[in-house]
Structure formats: structure tokens, C-alpha cells
Structure 1
């Protein structure tokens, strides 16, 4: 299921933060990022600072974090290929805040205190954009337990809402905005064959245009009614 409007979505993000231990804002940031990029929780968890271009405002989705023998591990995307996703204006402040937090984690890491500059820069680019309150990797089960997801969505009247529905909400927004074959759904495109040649990846201009359509839709009279200053991106 997809959430009906932006106000409901913001209430969900805020309620998840309020229900978590120490009211950890990272849970709300993760939920906003997942919906606005129409991606899976594991894909958001796998995002590194070096994957985000804050000049072109594009996220190169390269990996996902999934449960496996011995705990959480990183692997390739579900579609087995990287894809570019536009970062729309409405949640860029959130992204910059997460980048700054990642820099702070690296700067305060005692194991890097005496490391050369190149090693520290490499660690910064490899730092995760989204981590748990103790700096650990995130998976959908971790999000569910830490935020008391089931209780929160039931209290909001959406007891059937799953973590995967954040992606569905984003895909619905892109489709309603008139974005054909949304780049976020690239892993659903047909594989290369004689009958189905591979679809070329969109260029940065096309990605910006797609992002602009989504922004207009979010703020439009018939869209999800994005508030001028959403709480989760302050």
C-alpha cells in the first residue's frame, strides 16, 4: 500500500522517531530518504558518502545490505547493476546533514587518529550515510524493532503498512508525477536480448527533469501536498 499524502507520511516519520530509544532522528531520515528515492531499506542502508554527488544531486545506487549467515552483509543490487537516482530539492538538506554526520563519525574515530590524509578521506567516502544510533548497519528488521513499527503504524491507522511500502509510496509518487519508466525502477527493466535491447541509462539532465517533475507533483494541488518546511528535513 502507498501512503495517501505527504502529511500522513510526515506523521509516520515523526512517530517512528518519537517511539525509538533516545528519539533517534536517523530513523526518520531513513524513512524519508527511502520514500523520496523509491528504494528498499537495504539499498538505503548500503548508501555510502561516495555514492552521492551533491553537485549533480544524483545517488549512484551500487549495493544493498541484507541479512545473511553471520549477520548483515553488503551485496550487489537486486537488479545486479548500479543505477542513478535523482535527489530532489525537498530533501537535499537531509542528505547534507547525513553527509556532515558521516564526516563527524570519521573525524572522531580513534582508529584513524594517526592515519594519513588519504586514508581518512577514503574512510569518509566509504562511510555509510545511514547508520543505527550506535553506528551499526541497518536492515528492515532493525528498523522495525528499533521504532516499534507495528505499534506505530497501527496507532496511525495503517496496521497493514510494511517497510517495503515506503518504496511503493515513492514509485506511486514518481508515476503520478508523469515520470515514464522511473529510473528508480530500473531493476525491473528487461534484460538485454534480441527482442528486448537494453534500455540506456538516463543522463543527468533527464534525471534532473524527472526529479523536477516529482518536486512539482509533491507541491502541487493534486499531489501529496508537501509542506513548505517538512519536519524530517530540517
Structure 2
């Protein structure tokens, strides 16, 4: 799993805390076991937070969509996103991507600029 610089130090500290134990978990629940959905919800106070900010409809799984979309917008190729997400199919990965409308308009503007010669007239290139 790739690590962004912003969390590298945290993960390194967690690895050091395992004392090299084989198959040790980097993050554990309150009783030292696997982090379940319920543990994560309770530890983050998810329900209270989303209610307070007026986003009751927001689900934790939505953050997975957001993360993959941000990586795609940053230029990460879809075949790499598929690997990061653990999807068996690129079609599944595509369903996770939700580009911003402004980015879509910018793509159209870039294409228009590419197709115009300096004279401002459109041109066609042989492929």
C-alpha cells in the first residue's frame, strides 16, 4: 500500500511499536483486536460529527470514493487505483471515481485549446 508523506511518520511509529512481531496489526481496537466497523464508528464519533455538520447522509465508505477520486484527479492512472483499492476489475474502480464538474469543463477547454492552431482555426491531425 503506498503511503503519502503526511502519514509516513505515524505508520513508522506504529511499525516500531510492534517490536517486529510477525503478522502484528498496526492499528487495533480497544481490546487489542481487529478494528471493526462499530469500533471505528465509536472511536471517531462518526454519527455525532456528521449530524453536527449537517451531513447525516455521509457514510464512512464515501471516504473511500473521495480518496480514489482525489488520487485520480492528481493524475494517478486507473490501473494503479485498481491495485490500491484491491478491485478485481477496472470497471469497479471506475464506479468509485466522481470527478468534479469544474475538472470536466477544464478537460473540454484543454481539448479545445489543443485542437486550435495559433491562428485560432481548428485543425485535424492524421493519427
TM-score of the pair, normalised by structure 1: 0.34
Query: Shift of residue 186 of structure 1?
Result: 4.4
Q: Which position in structure 2 is the counterpart of 1:147?
A: 44
Cα deviation 1:24-79 (Å, max 9, x = unaligned): xxxxxxxxxxxxxxxxxxxxxxxxxxxxxxxxxxxxxxxxxxxxxxxxxxxxxxxx
**Quick check: 1:140–1:163 contact (8 Å CA) kept in 2?**
no
- The 2-side partners of 1:185 and 1:147 are apart by 22
**Quick check: 2:29–2:36 contact (8 Å CA) kept in 1?**
no
More helix by share: 2
- The 1-side partners of 2:13 and 2:54 are apart by 31
Number of residue equivalences:
87
Q: 2:85 aligns with which of 174, 185, 208?
A: 185
Q: Which has the larger radius of gyration?
A: 2
- The 2-side partners of 1:136 and 1:129 are apart by 11
- The 2-side partners of 1:133 and 1:186 are apart by 27
- Say whether residues 1:98 and 2:31 are aligned partners: no
- The 2-side partners of 1:125 and 1:156 are apart by 41
Gaps (5+ residues) in structure 1?
A: 1-84, 104-120, 191-234
Query: Shift of residue 147 of structure 1?
Result: 3.3
Match of 2:60, SS?
coil
- The 2-side partners of 1:158 and 1:188 are apart by 31
Q: Which position in structure 2 is the counterpart of 1:131?
A: 28
Query: Shift of residue 125 of structure 1?
Result: 2.5
Match of 2:87, SS?
helix
More strand by share: 1
- The 1-side partners of 2:12 and 2:86 are apart by 25
Q: Which position in structure 2 is the counterpart of 1:165?
A: 62
4+ residue runs over 6 A deviation: none
Match of 1:86, SS?
coil
- The 1-side partners of 2:3 and 2:29 are apart by 22
